Amino acid sequence: HIEMLAFDEAEFLKTVTIPDNVTYIGAYAFNTDVLTCDETVDGLIYIGDILVEDISGYDYENHVDITIDVANVREGTRIIAQGAGWCDGVVYNIPASVDSIGADAFKNCNKLVDVYVEDLESWLSIKCGNKDSRPNSQNAKSKLYVDSVLLTDVVLPETVDSISAYAFCNYVDLR
């Protein structure tokens, strides 16, 4: 675990190498202006294979709102850090490589409507910190798409031996 604010104000820190066995990163763990992130993709900021945060919100320098309409979490991402998905995006695409989503990762995604995942089995196995870890937790009208098909009926693959917490919470089209 890398806990909340673990590297807060680490003013001389330039890089952090995170081993594959890390499965949890707390909110604002890398809350420092000097840490160089690997890259920014589609308005999302990454350190290695970890989505640290999105940058939607307000650009104080240019005095304009920043909005992400579609958030494509890049392939290979393993962890979505606690508090990372603070967005007003309306569509989130989550690859099968994600195996952990931190607490409150999507707490402020009030306008989130659609969640796209590659396959049901990987979606069901994602470990979540709490109810607000799931991108659908704030909108009772969310729709879940599996392999681009709206999920209305749940047929569990035979390989599924458990369902993680809140896997189907708030999806309106399930019957």
Q: What is the pLDDT of residues 80-123, one digit of tens each?
A: 887 776 666 668 888 999 988 888 777 777 777 788 899 999 99
Whether 31 has a pLDDT exceeding 80, the answer reads no
Instruction: Tell which wins on pLDDT, 93 or 60.
Output: 93
CA end-to-end distance (rounded Å), the chain: 37
Mean pLDDT of the chain: 77
10-14, 37-41, 58-62, 134-138: lowest mean pLDDT where?
Answer: 37-41
Instruction: Identify the pLDDT of residue 70.
Output: 78
Q: Find where tokens 């937790």 sit.
A: 137
Instruction: Identify the pLDDT of residue 105.
Output: 79
Residue 43 backbone class (left: φ over 0; alpha: ψ -120 to 50; beta: rest) = left
Instruction: Identify the pLDDT of residue 96.
Output: 92
Instruction: Tell which wins on pLDDT, 34 or 105.
Output: 105
Locate the DSSP E strands across 6-146.
39-41, 44-47, 50-54, 57-59, 64-66, 70-72, 79-80, 91-94, 100-101, 114-117, 127-128, 143-146
Instruction: Identify the pLDDT of residue 76.
Output: 86
25: its two tokens:
């990163």
Instruction: Tell which wins on pLDDT, 146 or 37.
Output: 146
- d(CA 57, CA 62) in angstroms, rounded, equals 12
